[in-house]
Each structure stands twice: as structure tokens, then as C-alpha cells.
Structure 1
Amino acid sequence: MACPASNVQGRIVWEPKRVEATRMDAFRRHVAQKRSLRLDNYDALWQWSVTHPCEFWADVWDEVDIISSGHDDGKGVRWESVLRDAKAPIYPPPRWFEGARLNFAENLLRHRGDSIALIEACEPSPGGEESRKDVLLTHDEVFQQVADCARSLRKSGVQKGDFVAAYAPNCIATIVAFLACSSIGAVWISCAADFGPEGVLERLNAVRPKVLFTCDGVRYNGRVHAHAEKVKQVLGGLQQSGLKLDLLVEVDYVGGLQPLLGATQWKEFLRNGMGEAHIAFEQQDFNDPCWVLFSSGTTGKPKAITHRLGGMLLQLSKEHLIHGGLNEKDVFFQYTTPGWMMWNFLVGAMVAGCPLVLYEGSPLKPASVLWDLAAKYGITVLGTSAAYLGALQRSGYNPKAALGDKLKVRQVLSTGSPLRAELYPWIIENVGDVLIGSITGGTDICSLFAGHNEALPVRAGELQARNLGMNVDVVDQDGKSVPRGGEGDLVCKSPFPVQPLGFWGQDEKRYFESYYATIPGVWYHGDHVSLTLNGGLVMLGRSDAVLNPGGIRFGSSEIYEVLEANKHVPPLDTIVTSVAAALKLPTGDDEVVVLLLVLQSDCQAAKDGKAFEELVKSVRGVVRSQRSARHVPRFVRRVQNVPLTLNGKLSEVPVKKLLNGASLSSVNSSTLQNPVRCSDMPQRRCASHIDDFAQLVFPDIDRAKFRFFLTGCPGRICRDWTRTQ
């Protein structure tokens, strides 16, 4: 049994055996010698990196060996300037590495030969046997497929600046399609296969792609989910908005399903471009767009965050190669879908030349599935979420006891939400002597502000350190630095190469207000944190109302829009308004979505329990079908009213505070139209026992079911609880 968090917080649970053998320390020594500096430790290197950005990022470029063309001063320098003004303000985002020309895919495909590059695995069949054989491709085979795919895209009319989209699983074909797209200079967008058609349409309509890659279906939780109907809805929606795709390509991922009418099959598409193993890599400006990722959409439509290719290449290379020490001998795994920024992080690991293991399916069906995969392929860096690690602990599964010496894992990376302090010693005891890298960043920068560092010790409950080149600080509401150990908001005080170019197709005002308006002169990220005396970061939660169940972030507006679009459909037509908020689990490592409904006072659902249950069933069904299973609210409650701001805007933060135990005095009633109604919110008060907690927050719930949900059970992740009701 792990120790209570209060006993382990800040305790060292792992230390590097030989700091001097790490790539991070080698980089420190190299910079110190090259620049004639005294950099005795990581803190000194970090401080220099944020006060001398031009020299630092130039040294990173050389260290990770960026392949580029364009400007050449005869001494190997491939750019005119790193920054024209080293003291440029953070807004507007400055241009970096002017004069450099490069290609993202060219840098990822630099490794050739017959060693394995990509391994594609999927969820086992319910009987335990593999549902289909794993697919392994060498570096040469991947290069050939990318070359064929790129030629086929060019034949279809795709050129630099066009959009190419995927509505597909985490598989080899999706990565090949991305690399081919990038080699041409086209801009990439991807949606997870489990997204509902409404969410996909919202994203595709924002960028108007020429090509869509999709699949026949996926396997999750022991079931095959055919994809055709969802794709048809997306195509119909695109047609209604006046967009006709130039090309639709379907990957035969599950197999045995009816091919989508009008789609070109993946293998046929590759044959159309078959030729030599040669790729004409489009040379692009460092600041050209590479991909568009979408925000969670808390206050409206998701933001189409446009990332620059040079910044992403340089930053991801720094994180994987220098911070993580990733190399050709490693095997890298990240549990993710193409709809999450961690998929881009996963693909970025190709710079190391090591095999990537791709997996599509439930991570807990059975509980051993990811660890069996780790043992089978010798995974050395295993990335997952804090919610998964908490669920694994509750399942009782012990990877170390089950697999012993078969496990080669040296790093466990955790993201999505803060990793509980007591899980750190549990990982050491149940996995092995591994670096535990809790990381933070997000879709907005598609990389990290702070995270893993193989040259530093790991302390329970802390991110190891702020990352090189990221001038991260913790400030109060006035923008003043908080003393170490104090709490405040995470900001970045100076420019960095992965600042987004903007929001595609949206005005500059929204971009400015998202990151730069809250505290002038800095990037405001919205994380509530503490910087420790050791230089680590403790993540205390989100400063805003983004929903984050299971480490998958999305905005409440994605739920509201579904309800609004179906308000004419009984019984959803009885909903007057609603508010969604996150409820933290007592274990502290995850949260669930609570949806509060204001109903018409004379409707049957407002008076009758059974009628309300039918309404809840309808709400969950429509959210699942039009968004995804991850969007489905775990609890739906009736309330008399919801808080509104003085200008009539729904105010979610007070709801979140009250749900999670804050007193009414914590809500600034002067900012609300109806402050007295805040007392209508169900509150979570101090409860030492799960049953007490259930009774206080949801007095009419079946407490046995609530206990089952909170404590979990072997072989199930938290979100699967809804299926037991």
C-alpha cells in the first residue's frame, strides 16, 4: 500500500545513476565550453537559456542537428538571425530563424536501413488472442510508403499550404499520411476515430481540407465500432457547407467490414503513387504552418491553433533528445489518439531513430495490455496519463511481479492531469527503478513548459524542472512573482519558438485574449501551480473551467452545442439551460463531468424521477453520438438556476468551486446577476468517507454504484462505469 500523499510529497524516489552520462549534462558541458561560461548545474543552464535566447536556441539547433537549407554564410550557419531583436516582447509573437529553409518530414525520416521504425498493435480479442497480427515496418519501408503517399497526394492536386485531414486511429497509415502531407508542405489536422461527427465537422469546416484519410472501424473495449456511418454524416455536413473533398481515402484497419462507397482504399492509393524511394521535400520557411490543433472550446467554438513547423521541430527535438535522452536503442510508446497533442509528441520521437509502438484500443482491457506490449517489444519509454496510472493501481495489477525481467522500461511519462504524489513510490515498487516524468504543456504549445529531465532526481508529486528555453514563472493576479513554495498562475515571460502563429480563420483579438490579455507582457497558461525550493513544479489544477476527465481536455461548450442543436427533440426540449463542470475524485488523480440542468418547471421530468431518468438517458445518448464517449457527463442533476455574469454570460467557475467543496464566500457575488441562486448548487463538503461524500453531493444516487465508480475494479477504467448502470 502506498504511503499517504502527505508523507511522500517532495520525497526523492529516483535519481540518475551517472549524471555525467546523460545527454542533458553533456549539452551543459558543451555550452559552457563553447560560450566560456560557468554553468555548474541544470539551474544555471536553465537561467542562461532564458536570458540568452538567441545563443541558446542556436546551440539547440546544432545539438539536435536540424537538416535545413536556404541561407548559408559559408560557415555552416543556415539562418540570417535567430531573433531580429533578442529583447522582443512576447506579443506579437516574433519570427524565429529568418532565412532558414527546412522540412519537418525530412528531419523525421533521416534514419534509414532495415531496423524497425514503426510497430502497430491493437486491442486483443475478448478471448485473449490477438484480433489481428501486429504490423512492423523498417525505416526503409516507412520511407517508401511516405514517398508513394506523397506522390499520390501530388497527383491528386495537393500542394504547399493545402489542408490534409485524418479522421482515423493511431496506426501506421495515419503517421505515413502525415509525413507525406508534411513533405509536400501541406498543413495537417487530425481527429480521433472516436470523435462524434459533429465535433469532426466543426474542425474540418474551420480549415476546409482537400483530402480526408479515414478508416473502416476501430476496436475498443472488446467491440468493433464501424466507422462508415459517422464518416457519411461528416461528408454530408461538409457538402451542406459547400465543401466537396478532392479525395477520400479509407484505411482497412479492422478488416472484414464493408468498404466505404466512393472512397479510395489505402493500398490502392499507395499504388497510385508507386515509384522510387525518393521524396521531393518541400523547403519551407521556419515560420510556415505545420499543423492545426484544436482547443477544448470552453467559451465557444474550439480555437484552431496554428503551429509553426520550425518551432515544433526544434522544440520536440529538444524535449526528446536533450531532456529525455531518447536514442536509437530506445523503444518509445505513448498511449494517445490522433485527436490529442500527445500524438504529435509521439510522432516527434521519430527524430531519435528508435521504434515507435502504436496502439489503438482500451488501455485496461485487460489491465495488463500495455505492459504485455512493453514486454513484447522492449518498450523503454512508456507514456500514459495520470488517470490511467491511478486506475492501474486500483486494479491491483503489478507489472513488475507479472513480467519481471521482461520489462525494459526506464522512463514512465505521465500527462493529462497532475500525478498524485503517492503514485510515485507505487510506480517504483510496481514497475521498477524508472524515471517518472510528469509533464505539462498542452495543445496551445503542442509541447512542454516543464517535465522530464534525465539529469535530475524525481521527487514525489513534482514535475522535475522547468524546461530549457521556457521562461516559466509563477505569479499572482497582479503579475508579480510568487516566492518559491507559494501558489500562483503559470506564465511564460519571454518569447519561445512554439508560440502559435494564431488561430486559423479567426480574428487576432481572440488569439490575444486567450494568452496575452489576462496579465500584460506574458503568456498566461491558466494552470495553478507552485514552484518548489528544489526548482520543481507542483500542479494544483486549472485556473479556468476546462473539463479534463481521464486526461482528455475539452470545453463545456462542446456539450452545450449538442444540447442546443437538439433542443427541439423531446425530451431535450424541456431543458431551459445547463452548466457543465468538473468534479474531482476523492483520489485526486482524475475528474468527471457533472452536468446541471435547469428544466421547465411544468415538465414531467421536473416532477417525476422516472421521466428525469429518461431525460438523462437521452442527454447521454445524444452527447455520445454527436461528440464522443469521453464527453458523456458522468452525473446529471436538476438545479433551480445557474449563475450568470452581469452581462448574461454563463459563469462556470463558481459551479466548479462549489462542486469541489468551496464555500459560498469564495464566489464573488458582485459579478453575478443571481448570486443568491448559487446556494442551489450541490456542494461537496468535507467528507472522510466515500458514502458520506456520495450522500452530500448526490443524495439521491445509488451509493453502491457510486462506491463502485470511485474505487474502480480490475480491468476497467473509470469511464467504463457508466456502462454498469
Structure 2
Amino acid sequence: MGEAPKEKVIEGQLLWTPREEFKNNSNVTQYMEWLRINRGKDFADYDALWQWSVTDIEDFWASIWDYFKIESSTPYKQVLDRRIMPNAKWFEGSLVNYTEHLLRHERTAKADEQVFHHLTETTPLAHMTWHELARQVRILATQMRTLGVKPGDRVVSYMPNVPETAIAMMATTAIGAVWSSAAPEFGVKTVIERFSQIEPKLMFAADGYRFGGKVFRREAEVRRIASELPTLERIVWLPFIEAGNMVPDIPHTISWSQLMSHADVSRESFKFERVPYDHPLWVVFSSGTTGLPKAIVHSHVGVLLEHQKLMHFQLDLKPNSVFFFYTTTGWMMWNLVMASLITGSSAVLYDGSPAFPSDLLWKVAAETGATSFGASPTFVQMMEKEGLVPSQKYDLSKMETMMVAGAPSTPETFNWCYRSVKKDLWVTSQSGGTEICSGFVGATPTKSVHAGEIQTRMLGMDVHSWSDDGKELVDEVGELVVTKPFPSMPVYFWKDTDGKRYHDAYFDTFKDADGNPIWRHGDFIKINKRGGCYIYGRSDSTLNRYGVRIGTAEIYRAVEQVEGVADSLIVCVELPGGHFFMPLFLRLKPDVVFDDVLQKKISAKLREDCSPRHVPDRMYAIEQIPYTLTGKKMEVPIRKLLMGWPLEKSASRDAMMNPTSIDYFVTFAQESIDYQWRPSDASANA
């Protein structure tokens, strides 16, 4: 039959309005009714609820605590100690455990009620029940305690998106140890730069992974990583590529099966480690534009409260929901897939290429009965390019929601979902970050969907668009700022003892009327009169590619080790249609030839040290890299030039160390039209 004829759609065009039954049955509507009965708060609509949530923030978050019956060994002293960022203390005095709440549904689940639907490129769809998941978590957690893993010890993972990784995360955090994960496609240097900062005691590692029909073995990489982590006492080895594979002769390595062969531990006898308000839950790594990637620490209580709100009210997940978002274990979205369990819903875990074959994810969505399906805008663009119409081939009748996250979405992206997936579909776009392990702006099931528009600001997130001089903007693009504290803010950065790196990352630009720091996220945002939001990419030098943020420092550390490279500069430009273009500019040493051989060396170095996502779309040899008078590479001004900004609004020659170096980029932006409409090659990393 083929794809239906395309209709031109414009930004902000009304595409969908929720049915009354859909709105009335939503979690947020039920919560509003609870507030009316139990708190005497009567809100006319979501917008009124949001306004209260960011005005009376202590009352709002206290209601979240009560509504979801948070289990704490001791009562909290106060919701919030002060409304000042950073270092605000949330629910001080409480003792909670995040994983205990993830697994609460085990108590009421039926024997055959499934929590995970999982498959890989070579293994068929299988299922795991709530009871089986909780049983394995208790066994592994108990054995980790036997191995000497204590609260506060760091446990790291170099594993694919399989149930064992989820079990390892939950077992780690169940006993108060601190979790951190890297995807197995990450190169050795990238992993070491992350894990060496937090000095792990134990590592979970797999023998490899599969992608696009190819096998990528990782024994040599694990061996090199372990050799650079002197604090590592144990490695738990998972034979993922070949079941029954022998444990390698890496010192202190034991097999997954050896740990899991111990006797069951009853729910009644197992004790979750309930921890204080500031105890680390996990360390996630965001891009390092200068220096090493930022080791961001989140707390149990902060993430617990935020994920209760996010999963129930913004994503509307319920015990009968099936949540499927394509992700790897190195992306914050993996943590959110795990968070879906907090609602009692089940989750789909798939490890492999999203396009092997091209319609695979839709097949999985149909077979698992996914009610909520998510992927990046790049994935949707790939589907449209291939002319795929999932609704004509697969039964997607159970799908209620399609979430497009990881990068700015376009009106065309939304329109394709309605045209090719389902007419009665709640299409949502979200934007947040690893820094908060959640979203700032996103969805609500009670509002209409407009083309390319993020429906609303999330509850408890006092998000605004500000001009460079700190003025509120409406219907204009400005900096995304958050003017009041929220629970899932980072507790701190690891080893950032004086808090300077944390402060410089988010709080060095804006202040409120009292001189207190304001969170500046680094995204361009527009908020219209009805509260709809548009994200226009990064306002700083961080690279946002396929929804994964990459620090420019990671690129430079690898590229400038290649013989013949003297200096480099990289930017990532968001293009019309939701595409990306990431060029790398190189200053070469004298007499070095810029040819295919050199470019292949650079690409190979980036793949080996970092990941395939770090490889640029194109490389250009230039005479000078532009620097400021203070010696900083001018990444943001160059990016603005390539996005079409005039020179006078992009850079000041007076503030440059080498003013003539900007001329190349002015000409490049004017004459090199080919890059402006060229999509990045997303075939490997959509």
C-alpha cells in the first residue's frame, strides 16, 4: 500500500486532542482528585497544577511523598532546608532505598506477571516475572555483601542492555553501594576516564556485544580497563556472546553463574539498605567540555521522588503498561527504562541495532504489546526516509503513546507518527538531561499535541526562557533556566570537594533578585503563551548527537594524539528536519598531508578511545583554530556561525587571540551550502 500522502504541517499546528476518557483515566487526573479531597487543593487544569507545584514547592513535593506512600525508616525533618541552589537538602532525616520502591510491585504481582520482555539480535523474545527478578536481585545483593561490598562502595558495569545488567544495578543500589554504567561499545580510554574518577571496588563485565549482525568481543578491553583501576577487587564475568564461555584469566574474576548459584533469599529476611537523603544512588557521566567527563552524583531520595512524578504523571505509566524505549546502557534513558518499574509497568529490553532489519523495533513493539514506545528523532527520520509504514504491517493497537526524545523534534517528526503509526496517538517529546536523570519539559496526557511542540513544563520544574541579561522571554528563544530547586539536582560532582566544577557547570551565568545562583542548563528554549515548549539545541559547546551529549574535550584528547595533528576544533550543528552535522576542523603540523589515510587514522582513534558516536561527519584542514584572548577555543561562536548567525552576533574580533582565524568560518558558512541540508549518517547510531 505504501505511505499515505504527506500533508504539509507547520510548527504549532494542532494534531491531536485527548479523549475525555483518556484524560479522566490518567494518573495526573487521579492525583488532582486526591489533592482536592486530601489537601483541599482544587485545580482547574494542568497549568494551574504546574503553577502551584513551582510556587509552593515544599507542599508539592510533600504531596508526592504522601501520595506514593514513600517508605522510610524515619520521618523526614523537613521537605527542603532552603530555596537556594546548589546544595539544597531534600527530605533530610529520611532513610529510603530506591530499589526497594522499584521492586514493591513484587508483593502484589501474580506468579506469571511479567516485568521484562527481552531479546537481542540473536536470542528470541523471552520474559521475566516480577518474582524472578526480585529473587535474583536478592541473591546477587546477598553475595555482593559476602564479597565485602559495603554502602558507599562503587560498582561499575560494562554490560549490554540485558536483564543481568538490570539485576546488577538493582542489587548494587539495594545494598547502598553506588552504581555506574558504561555501554560496551565505549572505547577503553572513555571508560577509564569515567570509572577511574570514582575508584570502583567491583565491576560487572560481559565478553562482548552484537550490533548490526557483527560480533564485538570485549575481553581485551576489559583486561585493559581492569589494569587501570587499582581499586578494583572483583570482576563478575557474564558470557553474553557465547553462553558457557570460560571465565578469562583476568585476576579476581568470577562468573555470573557462580554468584547466582547460591540459595534463594526470602523477601522477609532480605534487608534493603535504607540510606540518608544525600547518600549516592549512582554516578552518571555527562560531557566534559573541559577536562574529564563530569561525574554526577544523584541521591536515592531525589531520584525516587522525581521518578515517581515523572513516570506516573508525565508519562502516565500504569501497572498494565508496557514501556519500550530503544537505548543502550551508556545513556540516561536506560535508567529511565528501569524507572518504569516504579509504576508496576513492564519494560522491554533490546540489545542490538535498531535497524537490523529496519523495521525490527516495530516488530518488537507489536510482539510485546508495547503501550508506550520511544526512540530518538533520528530513528523516526530513518523510518520516513525508507518509506516504512508500521501500521500497515504490525498490530500496534495497544500503543497509546509514542515518545520521541534525545534531540529536538520537528513538526514533520510528529506528523509521521500520526500518518504512519496511529491516528489516535499521544505523541510526546521530552527534554531534560543526564544531570537530572529526568526531564525539564515534556508531556501530560491532559493537553493537546501541537506539531513539533513539547506540551508543557514538568511538574515541580520552574523552567523559564531568559535573555542574556536575565529577562523573561515569551515566544522568543532564550536560555533554559530553572529558578527554584528540585529533588533530582545533582548532590555533587565526585571529588569536586569545593563544589567549583558543579557551580561552574550550571550556576555561573544567572542570579535571582537576591543574588542567588540560577540553574542555566545550556539549551536554547522557546516557551509560547499557552506553555508549549520548543528546544533548539545546545547553547554551549556540548555536542548533542543522536540524543547523547559528548564533551568536546573527549574528542580533542583523542584527535590530538594522532601523529600530524597540531590542534583541532569540533562543533555539532542542529539542522532543519531534525538532522545533525558534526564537522571536525584540523590544524596540521608542517608538511603533513591531509588525505584519506590521516582521516581514517583519526576516525579509528575516536572509535577506539571513545565510541562510534564520536566520529565526525566530515573533516577539514585549516590554517588556524580561533581562540579567545583567554585561550579558549571558540566552539560556541563557530557553531552559531554555521547555524546562520551573522558574525556580529556570533563573535567579537576584539576578544580574539587571532582575529583573522574567524574569516575561514565566515566563508565556510556562506559558501559550503552542502552541509546545511546533509543529514548525519545515523545508520549505526540512530
TM over 0.5: yes
> Is the Cα contact below 8 Å between 1:661 and 1:684 reproduced in 2?
no
> Is the Cα contact below 8 Å between 1:330 and 1:355 reproduced in 2?
yes
Secondary structure class of the residue paired with 1:661: coil
> Structure 1: where are the runs of 5+ without partners?
72-78, 124-130, 567-571, 607-611, 698-706
> Is the Cα contact below 8 Å between 2:199 and 2:231 reproduced in 1?
no
Q: How far is 1:244 from its partner?
A: 4.2
> Is the Cα contact below 8 Å between 2:92 and 2:277 reproduced in 1?
yes
Tell me the matched-pair count: 664
- CA pair 406-21 structure 1, distance change in 2 beyond 3 A: closer
Kindly indicate whether residue 122 of structure 2 is the aligned counterpart of residue 121 of structure 1.
no
Kindly indicate whether residue 2 of structure 2 is the aligned counterpart of residue 11 of structure 1.
no
Instruction: Indicate the residue corresponding to 1:668 in structure 2.
Output: 652
Q: How far is 1:561 from its partner?
A: 0.8
Q: How far is 1:273 from its partner?
A: 6.2
Deviations 1:14-37 (A, max 9, x none): 221122222212222322343334
- CA pair 101-272 structure 1, distance change in 2 beyond 3 A: same
Q: How far is 1:367 from its partner?
A: 1.4
Q: Which of 388, 403, 428 is residue 379 of structure 2 equivalent to? A: 388
Q: How far is 1:489 from its partner?
A: 0.8
Instruction: Indicate the residue corresponding to 2:302 in structure 1.
Output: 311
- CA pair 299-463 structure 1, distance change in 2 beyond 3 A: same
TM superposition score normalised by structure 1: 0.88
Instruction: Indicate the residue corresponding to 2:179 in structure 1.
Output: 188
- Tell me, in whole angstroms, the C-alpha distance in 2 between the residues paired with 1:554 and 1:683: 27
- CA pair 407-260 structure 1, distance change in 2 beyond 3 A: farther
> Is the Cα contact below 8 Å between 1:374 and 1:408 reproduced in 2?
no
Equivalent residues in 2 for 1:621-632, closer than 5 Å = 621-632=604-615
RMSD value, Cα: 1.9
Counterpart AA for 1:249? V
Instruction: Indicate the residue corresponding to 2:514 in structure 1.
Output: none
Instruction: Indicate the residue corresponding to 1:601 in structure 2.
Output: 590
Q: How far is 1:678 from its partner?
A: 0.7
Instruction: Indicate the residue corresponding to 1:658 in structure 2.
Output: 641
> Is the Cα contact below 8 Å between 2:579 and 2:679 reproduced in 1?
no
Secondary structure class of the residue paired with 1:544: coil
Q: Which of 368, 372, 391 is residue 400 of structure 1 equivalent to? A: 391
- Tell me, in whole angstroms, the C-alpha distance in 2 between the residues paired with 1:15 and 1:52: 30
Secondary structure class of the residue paired with 1:206: helix
Kindly indicate whether residue 546 of structure 2 is the aligned counterpart of residue 550 of structure 1.
yes
Deviations 1:496-551 (A, max 9, x none): 11111111012411111111111123111111111011211011121011112212
- Tell me, in whole angstroms, the C-alpha distance in 2 between the residues paired with 1:118 and 1:64: 23
Kindly indicate whether residue 84 of structure 2 is the aligned counterpart of residue 89 of structure 1.
yes
Instruction: Indicate the residue corresponding to 1:76 in structure 2.
Output: none
> Is the Cα contact below 8 Å between 1:643 and 1:654 reproduced in 2?
no
> Is the Cα contact below 8 Å between 1:218 and 1:253 reproduced in 2?
yes
Q: How far is 1:373 from its partner?
A: 0.2
Counterpart AA for 1:595? L
> Is the Cα contact below 8 Å between 2:537 and 2:574 reproduced in 1?
no
Q: How far is 1:149 from its partner?
A: 0.3
Kindly indicate whether residue 343 of structure 2 is the aligned counterpart of residue 352 of structure 1.
yes
Instruction: Indicate the residue corresponding to 1:431 in structure 2.
Output: 421
Q: How far is 1:224 from its partner?
A: 1.1
Kindly indicate whether residue 466 of structure 2 is the aligned counterpart of residue 487 of structure 1.
no
Instruction: Indicate the residue corresponding to 2:283 in structure 1.
Output: 292
> Is the Cα contact below 8 Å between 1:64 and 1:321 reproduced in 2?
no
> Is the Cα contact below 8 Å between 1:398 and 1:430 reproduced in 2?
yes
Greater shift in the superposed pair: 666-675 or 460-469: 666-675
Deviations 1:208-241 (A, max 9, x none): 1111001011110111111111111111222xxx
Kindly indicate whether residue 157 of structure 2 is the aligned counterpart of residue 166 of structure 1.
yes
Deviations 1:436-490 (A, max 9, x none): 11001101111111101111111111111001111111111111211x2122111
- CA pair 474-502 structure 1, distance change in 2 beyond 3 A: same
Instruction: Indicate the residue corresponding to 2:105 in structure 1.
Output: 111
TM superposition score normalised by structure 2: 0.93
Instruction: Indicate the residue corresponding to 1:261 in structure 2.
Output: 249
Q: How far is 1:68 from its partner?
A: 2.1
Counterpart AA for 1:539? I
- Tell me, in whole angstroms, the C-alpha distance in 2 between the residues paired with 1:281 and 1:614: 55
Secondary structure class of the residue paired with 1:427: helix
Equivalent residues in 2 for 1:193-592, closer than 5 Å = 193-238=184-229, 243-255=230-242, 259-262=247-250, 263-272=253-262, 274-277=264-267, 278-403=269-394, 405-432=395-422, 433-482=424-473, 484-507=474-497, 508-520=499-511, 521-564=517-560, 566=561, 572-587=562-577, 589-592=578-581
Counterpart AA for 1:593? M
Deviations 1:682-707 (A, max 9, x none): 756579xxxx832x78xxxxxxxxx9
- Tell me, in whole angstroms, the C-alpha distance in 1 between the residues paired with 2:238 and 2:614: 26
Secondary structure class of the residue paired with 2:91: coil
Counterpart AA for 1:555? G
Deviations 1:77-100 (A, max 9, x none): xx2211234xx2223x21111221
Q: Which of 641, 647, 662 is residue 678 of structure 1 equivalent to? A: 662
- Tell me, in whole angstroms, the C-alpha distance in 2 between the residues paired with 1:615 and 1:720: 23
Deviations 1:349-377 (A, max 9, x none): 11111211101111112111100000111
Instruction: Indicate the residue corresponding to 1:128 in structure 2.
Output: none
Deviations 1:577-598 (A, max 9, x none): 00011133443x1313211100
Q: How far is 1:192 from its partner?
A: 0.6
Counterpart AA for 2:30? A
Greater shift in the superposed pair: 266-275 or 202-211: 266-275
